[in-house]
């Protein structure tokens, strides 16, 4: 028995080691993959240039001259070259943005939407003065469709699965015909990626929908069942309304229904995510409030302005390191915590400590402080809103399928909110400050009697709560503009969260924040954003009727008084 315990312990340690190794290994593997592909991209043009450069140049130049059928041939030859520059040139030609001089050795250029010209051969910019003699390379409809097929097949055989998938989807969007089906059939034989294969199957099915035979159409419908693509839906809708065969019509309707069900399920997921996202913002803003309110019985009306301070800190940090946007958040988070925390401690030492036991007075005094801080922000940073730049890794969105996508900044803020929450929980549960804070919140007099310096704990708690408000400000700055009124917009909502969740209970704050966020987002589609907010407030007032102390009331005899 005595031997087993350490043995078991060692086993655990090994497991953890193993796990961490796995993780790091996979990370390494990913890194390696990325770097090799990057290398491949880097080296590919140079290698290709070495072997095919003269041919490439002549072909491109030939592309701008001669009869249309001849040029179509040239394009095909160009397509057979393994050169990354081919696709942009053919795309430009197909879209009518390829330009060339009228000469034997023409300058070939690609124009963008803004009217700038780039040399098609070496990618150099062409100054406006030289752009004068450039003329658009003409094409006709036949050639346009030929080029499209060519482009599709080029993309279809690309190395990256994402590009191939895109190509197939593009084909589906453009409408499938015999030519594309032939291309796809060719590709399907060698395609290793499952998503791409699925997309190809969808394309076949869409083709088969136009079949004469009802049984083929029904089979195709079965394949399309559950697909979320817009084209599939419209094709099915067409069949459901206009098909000659009643059975096919029915099947199409069933398939449509199943698609609608899936879509509404994803819409629900999206709504829940939006709710959780709003909830995480509320959580971040309410969590600090919950601490100061729960532990010290202090209503801090300046809490919103502490968030505002955090947001301005983010902005200032970005101004200081304009070239390091990606990393500035890493500096902004601790600085916002420290700055807002120090302001909080100053407020506690300067004002609040004289008002303990008089919550209404505290409320008024801190409201005064909030006015001062707001006006100070207006005087220092101007009343105009400042935009904080979003780092690269936070912009854009995670596309899960055609109807569900999640913006990265909301996703990260959600995760960040949870991290802050659990970190705070750990601080309260595991550290000596946390122990003292809990002691003071439960019985101030007793805590003091056993030697806890209540006033020090108060200052630290207030600092902690304010620091978290600062961090919340950093998160907010990633969602909205930074301005003097930033805090005001959130303060009432965060109070509602605290009241809803129950004072002094962090889990209550979590549930309250997420609950209010989700309720808000679910009411919005029916009632509009403003009315949803009003309804939530009304619901909350009614909720307090049933449970005056929130979802999770403070426990124990002290709370009963």
Q: Which stretches of the chain bind other proteins, using CB under 8 A?
A: 297, 299, 351, 354-365, 367-372, 374-376, 378-379, 444-445, 492, 495-496, 499, 528, 530-531, 533-534, 537-538, 540-542, 544-546, 548, 555-558, 560-561
Residue 210: count of CB within 10 angstroms of its CB: 13
Beta partners for residue 398, in sequence order: 406
Q: Which is nearer to other proteins, 182 or 364 (CB)?
A: 364
Closer to other proteins by CB, 114 or 380: give it: 380
Do 74 and 55 touch, CB atoms closer than 8 A?
no
Picking from 109, 69, 114, the residue whose alpha carbon sits closest to that of residue 93 is: 109
For other proteins, the closer of residues 246 and 560 by Cβ is: 560
Q: How many CA atoms lie within 13 A of 301 on its CB side?
A: 17
Task: Give the H or E element holding residue 71.
Answer: helix 68-80
Q: Which CB atom, from 109 or from 365, has the smaller least distance to other proteins?
A: 365
Q: How far is the CB of 304 from other proteins (least distance, A)?
A: 11
Minimum CB separation from other proteins for residue 516, in Å? Answer: 12
Minimum CB separation of residue 549 from other proteins in Å reads 9
197, containing H or E segment:
helix 194-209
Instruction: Please identify, using beta-carbon distances, which residue of 115 and 556 lies nearer to other proteins.
Output: 556
List all residues 6 or more positions away from 210 whose beta carbon is below 8 Å from its beta carbon.
Answer: none
Query: Residue 168 in contact with residue 198, Cβ under 8 Å?
Result: no
Whose Cβ is closer to other proteins: residue 214's or residue 544's? Answer: 544
The HSE-up count of residue 35 (CA atoms within 13 Å, CB side) is 6
Q: Between helices 454-477 and 246-296, what is the axis angle to 10°?
A: 150
Distance CA 94, CA 107 (A): 18
Q: Give the three-class secondary structure for 556.
A: coil
CB-based contacts of 158, cutoff 8 Å, min separation 6: 164, 167
Nearer to other proteins among residue 231 and residue 305 (C-beta): 305
Taking the complex as a whole, the smallest distance from the CB of residue 489 to other proteins amounts, in Å, to 11
Query: Closer to other proteins at the Cβ: 130 or 554?
Result: 554
Structure tokens at 263: 């879509």
Q: Rounded CA gap, 285 and 273, in Å?
A: 18
Measured over the CA atoms of residue 111, residue 116, residue 119 and residue 123, the dihedral's sign is negative
Residue closer to other proteins, measured from CB, 246 or 530: 530
Q: Which lies closer to other proteins via its Cβ, residue 236 or residue 469?
A: 469
| Cα 487 from Cα 480, distance rounded (Å) | 11
Least spacing, CB of residue 370 vs other proteins, in Å: 7
Q: Residue 315, CB half-sphere, CA atoms under 13 Å: how many?
A: 22
């Amino acid at each position: 028995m005595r031997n087993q315990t350490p043995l078991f312990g060692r086993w655990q340690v090994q497991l953890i080691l193993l796990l961490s190794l796995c993780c790091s290994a996979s990370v390494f593997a990913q890194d390696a993959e990325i770097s090799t592909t990057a290398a491949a991209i880097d080296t590919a043009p140079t290698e290709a240039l070495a072997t095919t450069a003269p041919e490439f140049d002549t072909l491109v130049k030939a592309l701008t001259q001669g009869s249309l059928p001849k040029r179509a041939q040239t394009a095909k030859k160009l397509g057979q070259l393994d050169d990354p520059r081919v696709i942009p040139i053919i795309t430009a030609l197909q879209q009518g943005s390829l330009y060339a001089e009228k000469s034997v050795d023409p300058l070939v250029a690609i124009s963008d939407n803004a009217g700038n010209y780039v040399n098609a051969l070496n990618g150099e910019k062409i100054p406006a003065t030289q752009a004068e003699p450039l003329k658009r390379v003409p094409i006709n409809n036949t050639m346009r469709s030929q080029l499209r097929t060519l482009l599709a097949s080029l993309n279809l055989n690309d190395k990256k699965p994402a590009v191939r998938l895109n190509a197939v989807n593009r084909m589906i969007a453009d409408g499938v015909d015999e030519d594309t089906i032939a291309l796809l059939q060719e590709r399907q034989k060698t395609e290793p990626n499952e998503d791409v294969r699925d997309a190809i199957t969808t394309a076949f099915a869409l083709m088969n929908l136009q079949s004469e035979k009802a049984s083929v159409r029904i089979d195709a419908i079965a394949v399309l069942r559950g697909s979320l693509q817009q084209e599939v839906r419209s094709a099915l809708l067409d069949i459901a309304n206009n098909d000659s065969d009643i059975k096919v019509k029915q099947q199409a309707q069933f398939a449509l229904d199943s698609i609608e069900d899936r879509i509404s399920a994803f819409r629900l997921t999206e709504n829940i995510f939006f709710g959780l996202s709003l909830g995480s913002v509320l959580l971040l803003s309410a969590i600090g409030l919950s601490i100061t309110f729960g532990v010290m019985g202090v209503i801090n009306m300046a809490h919103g302005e502490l968030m505002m301070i955090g947001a301005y800190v983010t902005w200032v940090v970005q101004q200081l390191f304009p070239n390091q946007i990606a990393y500035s958040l890493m500096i902004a988070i601790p600085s916002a915590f420290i700055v807002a925390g120090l302001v909080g401690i100053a407020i506690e030492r300067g004002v609040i400590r004289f008002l303990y036991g008089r919550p209404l007075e505290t409320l008024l005094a801190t409201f005064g402080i909030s006015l001062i801080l707001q006006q100070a922000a207006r005087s220092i940073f101007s009343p105009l809103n400042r935009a904080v730049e979003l780092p690269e890794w936070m912009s854009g969105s995670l596309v899960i399928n055609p109807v569900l996508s999640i913006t990265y900044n909301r996703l990260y803020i959600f995760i960040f909110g949870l991290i802050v929450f659990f970190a705070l929980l750990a601080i309260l549960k595991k550290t000596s400050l946390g122990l003292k804070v809990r002691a003071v919140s439960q019985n101030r007099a007793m805590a003091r009697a056993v030697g806890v310096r209540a006033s020090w704990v108060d200052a630290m708690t207030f600092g902690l709560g304010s620091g978290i408000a600062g961090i919340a400000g950093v998160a907010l700055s990633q969602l909205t503009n930074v301005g003097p009124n930033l805090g005001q917009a959130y303060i009432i909502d965060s109070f509602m969260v605290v009241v809803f969740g129950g004072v002094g209970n962090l889990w209550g704050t979590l549930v309250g924040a997420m609950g209010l966020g989700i309720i808000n987002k679910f009411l919005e589609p029916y009632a509009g954003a403003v009315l949803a907010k009003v309804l939530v407030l009304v619901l909350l007032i009614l909720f307090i009727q049933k449970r005056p102390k929130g979802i999770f009331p403070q426990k124990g005899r002290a709370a009963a008084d």
